[in-house]
Amino acid sequence: MWDTVETSYHEKDLLPLWVADMDFKVHQPILDALSQVIEQGILGYAVAPNELYQAIQDWQQQHHQLIVEKEEILFNSGVVPSLATAVQAYTAPADSIMICDPVYPPFADVVKQNERRLVRHSLLEVNGHYEVDRKSVV
């Protein structure tokens, strides 16, 4: 946690970049937008505005030449629930799903919790980064 770095590592000047969180100051426009939401006082779920859908569609077309229909966009609460949605949508129980280690441990949990067969594949460490060993993937 960002507030335990000094007590945990006996260093004051560390930037904690954990597995799922990166603890650094949030960009001011994001803080301003969050402040506006907090000031209105209701913190429940909200409906995504049409402008958000359009921004996603524009970005996909601009960067990937991909036309995405609004109905194809699904919002989810995080990466793990999104992965579970994809597993359920594109595979059937007992299908095999490969994950590459090292990986965020909840990814394997999603595979097992959705009654799929987990296949692990170890990445190769090459010159300080990881690569898929394409020869051993069958």
pLDDT of residue 95: 98
Alpha-carbon dihedral sign for residues 132, 81, 45, 21: negative
Distance (Å, whole) CA 34 – CA 38: 6
Looking at residue 2, what is its pLDDT?
A: 66
pLDDT for 1 equals 66
Three-state secondary structure string covering 73-125: CCCCCCHHHHHHHHHHHHCCCCCEEEEEECCCCHHHHHHHHCCCEEEEEECEE
Give residue 14's pLDDT.
Answer: 79
Six token digits for residue 119: 């296949």
The ranges of the chain with pLDDT < 70 are 1-2, 19-20, 138
45/18 Cα distance (integer angstroms): 27
